[in-house]
Amino acid sequence: MAKLKYTRDELMADHAYAKPHEEVGYKLHGGFDADGTYISPRTLNRWPAVEAWQAALTARDWPLIDATTQLLSRGNYPNIEQQKILLDNGLGETLWNSLTITGVIEARGQALCNFEAPDFQQIIVDDISDTCTGHLHKGLLYAHGIDEGGDPKVPNGPGAHDQMWYAARDLIFGAGRYPIPEVPDNIGRPDQGRLMPQLPMGFESLILLLMNVLMIEVRAEAGFSFNCALLRDKATFTDRRAEADLAATMIERIRTDEAIHVAYLQTTVSEMRSFTFKTVDGGTIAGKDLIDPIWEGMVKWHGVTQAELSREQSQTAIHARIGKLQNSTKVLQAFEATDDLVKAA
């Protein structure tokens, strides 16, 4: 029978790496096995644990919720063809900004290390000691935070995803190629007020945080696909072809790391659907009745509303950059002609 209960130390354990992860002057987390395959940090037991919790859930006839890019109703903007037009015309700032902002937001993920996760057993009728939900306060959130922005307890420790994004950016553009852009204060769904008044506020806040972060991870997966395809396109960065390939490889390593984040968050939200929750008025409520309408709204906001807001903001900035070119009319026409929404109309 698969192991379902883990200590914090077990969930934080690393593999015995044959080679450390060092790239373009950065000492980074994770490492390589004897065959040179990259292995994510702190996954010696995290992956077996999550896979066991998933199997236990589905054995109880509760499915895992969809956590794939099929949830996203909009593609990347600008798309690959549009981004290539910008790069061909010396307008790399859009891509530079995207990679930089991603790195800054990843660094903010370190905040998960400081989040005091409550013990959900306090408000769940079922025994959750052998579930993913029952281990959130036993290192799962902390490990996620370290992956994103490094361990706050080890200031000079290995670089995390933030440093990996900056390294990938500098490989293709060179350090300091453009100014550091303005970074959004928050990329999660804005506060909607109390959405689960049946629960104590602290527990509601954490459930909403987990849903928000899961959808951000789903959006990140779409970004991985986009950036890797763009950087590996032989028509891009022809003067820095080797550097672009290495940058794509680094992004693939981040993608490998992020898979465990999607998995444990997907498992937690799926488990919560199966539980019975204690309500503040002394009653109970089925998890699916509590979770499903909130998750539906979260998916719609991230998959449609946020994508449209982001597109509008990016479009204004991109048009302004194109407008400064001598051949601006021609470039803008080509850019608009390859727009996914225009082609679909």
Is a pLDDT exceeding 90 seen at residue 190?
no
pLDDT of residue 288: 97
Q: Which domain holds residue 198?
A: 8-65+77-344
Is 3 a member of any domain? no
Does the structure show a pLDDT above 70 at 286? yes
The closest of 232, 186, 230 to 209, measured between CA atoms, is 186
269 in a domain, yes or no? yes
The pLDDT-based confidence of 191 (bands split at 50, 70, 90) is: confident
Residue 2 lies in a domain: no
CA distances from 285 to 64, 127, 275 (A): 20, 16, 9
Domain membership flag for residue 154: yes
Question: Would residue 1 count as lying in a domain?
Answer: no
Mean pLDDT, rounded, for 264-282: 97
Give strand pairing partners of 286: 276
**Mean pLDDT for the stretch of residues 17-34:** 94
Amino acid 344: pLDDT: 53
Confidence of residue 342 (pLDDT cuts 50, 70, 90): low
Mean pLDDT score of the chain, rounded to an integer? 93
What pLDDT sits at residue 97?
94
206-265 pLDDT, tens digit per residue, is 999 999 999 999 999 999 999 999 999 999 999 999 999 999 999 999 999 999 999 999
**Residue 296 in domain:** yes
Q: How much of the chain, in percent, has pLDDT values that exceed 70?
A: 97
Length of the chain: 345
**What span, in angstroms and rounded, lies between the C-alpha atoms of 142 and 126?**
25
pLDDT of residue 8: 96
Q: In the chain, how many domains are there?
A: 1
323 within some domain: yes
Instruction: Evaluate if residue 192 carries a pLDDT over 90.
Output: no
Q: Band the pLDDT of 187: cuts 50, 70, 90.
A: low
- For residue 12, give Cα distances in angstroms to 37, 47, 51, 146: 20, 11, 16, 10
**pLDDT score, position 188:** 62
Q: What angle do CA 284, 288, 289 make, to 5 degrees?
A: 60
CB neighbour list of residue 4: distance below 8 Å, 6 or more residues apart: 49, 52, 53, 56, 130, 131
The residue behind tokens 């928000």 is 212
pLDDT in tens, 292-319: 999 999 999 999 998 898 999 999 999 9
State the pLDDT at residue 181.
87
196 in a structural domain: yes
Give residue 170's pLDDT.
95
Check whether 117 has a pLDDT greater than 80: yes
Q: With helix as H, strand as E and coil as C, how does the chain read?
A: CCCCCCCHHHHCCCCCCCEEEEECCEEEEEEECCCCCEECCCCCCHHHHHHHHHHHHHHCCCCCCCCCHHHCCCCCCCCHHHHHHHHHCCCCHHHHHHHHHHHHHHHHHHHHHHCCCCCHHHCECCCCCCCCHHHHHHCHHHHHHHHHHCCCCCCCCCECHHHHHHHHHHHHHCCCCCCCCCCCCCCCCCCCCCCCCCCCHHHHHHHHHHHHHHHHHHHHHHHHHHHHHHHCCCCCCHHHHHHHHHHHHHHHHHHHHHHHHHHHHHHHHHHHHHCEEECCCCCEEEHHHHHHHHHHHHHHHHHHHHHHHHHHHHHHHHHHHHCCCCCHHHHHHHHHHCCHHHHHC
Does residue 190 or residue 153 have the better pLDDT? 153
Share of the chain above pLDDT 90, in %: 86
How does pLDDT run across 120-129, given as a tens digit for each residue? 999 999 999 9
CB 122, CB 279: distance < 8 Å: no
pLDDT exceeds cutoff 80 at 68: yes
Instruction: Provide the whole-model pTM.
Output: 0.94
